[in-house]
Amino acid sequence: MKPYRNEAWLLLLPAAGLMGFIGVVPLIAVFNYSLHDIFSLADVHWVGAEWYEEIITSDRFHASLLRSLLFAAVVLSVQVPLGVGLALLVRRTGRWAVMLLMLVALPLVVPWNMIAMMWLGLIDPATGIVGRALAAAGVVFDWKFTAWQTWVLLVVMDTWHWIGLVVILAYAGLSGISPDYYRAAAIDGASRVAVFRFIELPKIAAPLGIVLLLRFVDSFMIYTEAFAINAGGPDMATHFLAIDLGEEIKGFSYGSAAARSMVYFLIVITVVWAFVRISGLSRQEA
């Protein structure tokens, strides 16, 4: 019997080295900056954990954190059920499924900095289709000065942009289900709810896990769309974590911005670790 040899792992060394260079080295540099007060490259002062203490004890940080968590929760609660429902409908269309998937995937290729401009044009009551329709229906959509309407606009805009990802991954999971399962369910007289609960949902659980993770990280750190729509307003209602970070970078407070970046990084890593841990325990129980 030949001994087991795994030298093939050595082929991964170039990729691992590249990922270490573009991932670990910048992270170390940012952590180093977070321990200093940087006025210029020639004027750097050691402050230790002072920036971290200031950020963590700040009421503004706590409020921004709650807004970001709330926004991520709202986005996930809307996009995941809607995406799964659309995937189930697309699967019933047969040969038109590919065309429909291409249509729902189109917003994914739109650059982030263009999305806000597009939607601001759409909701303009003078020139936009949506704005004119709302005005004709007698609906006053004052997103500039009404907080909940700004939130509605952000959630709708983000859903339009990312719903294609949810639909595609859910559809991929549904496509892997053998027709034999459906025939067996029909013979047993299973209801549509039972079919989804015991046949379809387990098959799309893994893709939905990826969706939940990706969409949480992206929505939790939303910046471009929120800043372009109302710059965190009105009255700080959409002032998320990333907007705080952007303000410090624009204010040339690089030490504080680096510390804030590290805090956000730790929050995201903690959520990812908890998600992977819970997913692993769920698979073991299954």
pLDDT digits (tens, 9 = 90+) for 6-53: 777 888 888 888 888 888 888 999 999 999 988 776 778 899 899 999
Burial class (CB in 10 A: 0-12, 13-18, 19+), 180: exposed
Band of residue 155 on the pLDDT scale cut at 50, 70, 90: very high
Query: Cβ(55)–Cβ(255) under 8 Å?
Result: no
pLDDT at 156: 95
Residue written as token pair 């034999």: 180
pTM over 0.85: yes
Query: Cβ(84)–Cβ(91) under 8 Å?
Result: no
Name the percent of the chain lying above pLDDT 70. Answer: 95
**CA nearest neighbour of 76 among 219, 240, 174:** 219
pLDDT at 1: 55
- What mean pLDDT value characterizes the chain? 89
Residue written as token pair 């170039």: 14
pLDDT at 22: 86
Mean pLDDT of the 46-65 span: 93
81, pLDDT greater than 80? yes
Count of CA atoms in the C-beta half-sphere (13 A) of 83? 32
160, pLDDT greater than 90? yes
**CA-based radius of gyration for the chain:** 24
pLDDT at 21: 85
**CA nearest neighbour of 71 among 170, 179, 148:** 148
Rounded Cα–Cα distance for residues 189 and 192 (Å): 9
Band of residue 251 on the pLDDT scale cut at 50, 70, 90: confident
The structural domains of the chain, with segments of one domain joined by +, span 60-285
Which pair of structure tokens corresponds to residue 41? 């490259």
Mean pLDDT of the 74-89 span: 95
281, pLDDT greater than 70? no
Which pLDDT tens digit goes with each residue over 188-234? 888 989 999 999 998 888 888 888 999 999 999 999 889 999 888 89
Rounded Cα–Cα distance for residues 263 and 138 (Å): 45
**CA nearest neighbour of 161 among 89, 224, 205, 233:** 224
CATH number of the 60-285 domain: 1.10.3720.10
- The region of weakest confidence among 2-6, 32-36, 162-166, 277-281 is 2-6
Band of residue 283 on the pLDDT scale cut at 50, 70, 90: low
